[in-house]
Structure 1
């Protein structure tokens, strides 16, 4: 399963040392917020909160570092069905559904704390709502357009004046360094999460085997019960036949002369 995700689904690219793919993903998520939830985007920008501050762990661990394991399993299921763009859909749905609560916070620390610690505590209703919204979204064209847009901006950055280029490159290097550190930490968390998933899969397999054995045992008991009932019925029939076949041995009482 891990090999399929890393190589066939292309998730391995986001763990490369240069972190370019992750930076593109963070830009794409930022643009999605801008287009789908402009007020939330402006609120986060006002407090200088970019997606890399809260969403990098989501993408690097496929939400396993902060969200309930049951929710993570559903995300994996959707990734197998629709591909890696599911992570953008889930992130966008989560942020959009919690937008009123996020907008209530007025400083960087409380906003980031809410997104990292409070938002992941999903109830069953919120979890199902998020899953349903993911199936209704279609953002493939936007993601492709945003990726092209990112590369165009990078080319413009290279062609800009030396002073502006140095300033932007310095900012990108700091972001890259921060993301690389998060990558190292989250890779370890991803390994732990994968171990938990494998353990749960083994447990489910054992439970399914036990369920199959119980069904077989139940069927055997039902057959045995049916056979016993037939035997009892046959014994009753034989007893009735024997009772009807016995001669009347009762002697008449003598009468007086």
Structure 2
């Protein structure tokens, strides 16, 4: 009911003010809507469509339908100037929907998106309830509640400290592992460099050996580059 009242304030402020002026809360007219999903007062065809939308979109459909119905009948509701006639109109006359009104309401429901507002008003309601409870407590009860909350926060703080210590331990372990890997990488690079130098030396030795073995006089044969230099 609190959520419906806040939504009415957002979407139909003039109607909300009209209800407030005559001390009409949502429970006076919307309680049977919410309890029976509109089945207690509205035509069966309309109720069937509402149930289809409930299965499709969830419980927020109830709020959408209520807002659409009140909004579409707002000019007629504002004409009434006392509590009895307003409530009587909403309970007895408003549910007699024609086909055009029914389709208009269904289309409006599909176009509305109030999920974020409903969540915000739910949180708001619980905060107000907590404040109301706090204001009704005496000093001893309030102190006991604060001590309980403080104890809970201390436990949460202790658990978080333990998690923090574990996380720091993991960080130190990972840092040590990274340092070891970096040292291994440096050693491997040095080994690769040494192997490259040895490879070059071996290739040079093999080249000299091939040159000596190919010369009949035992003298080194001229390479292709030597012939080219001689021709020049």
Matches within 5 A, 1:128-139: 128-139=103-114
Report deviation, 1:41.
0.2
Q: How far, CA to CA, are the matches of 1:75 and 1:158 in structure 2?
A: 36
The size of the alignment, in residue pairs, is: 138
Q: TM-score, normalised by structure 1?
A: 0.53
Q: How far, CA to CA, are the matches of 1:66 and 1:45 in structure 2?
A: 24
- Partner of residue 70, structure 1: 45
Report deviation, 1:52.
0.3
Q: How far, CA to CA, are the matches of 2:133 and 2:57 in structure 1?
A: 35
Report deviation, 1:158.
1.2
- 2:62 paired with 1:87: yes
Match of 1:143 among 77, 102, 118: 118
Q: How far, CA to CA, are the matches of 2:54 and 2:136 in structure 1?
A: 42
Matches within 5 A, 1:151-166: 151-160=126-135
Report deviation, 1:162.
6.3
Match of 1:124 among 95, 99, 102: 99
Report deviation, 1:161.
5.5
Matches within 5 A, 1:3-152: 26-152=1-127
Larger Rg: 2
Q: How far, CA to CA, are the matches of 2:136 and 2:101 in structure 1?
A: 48
Q: How far, CA to CA, are the matches of 1:84 and 1:147 in structure 2?
A: 14
- Partner of residue 174, structure 2: none
Q: TM-score, normalised by structure 2?
A: 0.58
Question: SS state of the match for residue 160, structure 1?
Answer: helix
Higher relative contact order (CA 8 A, sep 6+): 1
Gap regions ≥5 residues in structure 1: 1-25, 164-257
Give the RMSD, CA atoms, in angstroms. Answer: 1.2
Q: How far, CA to CA, are the matches of 2:29 and 2:137 in structure 1?
A: 31
Q: How far, CA to CA, are the matches of 1:145 and 1:103 in structure 2?
A: 29
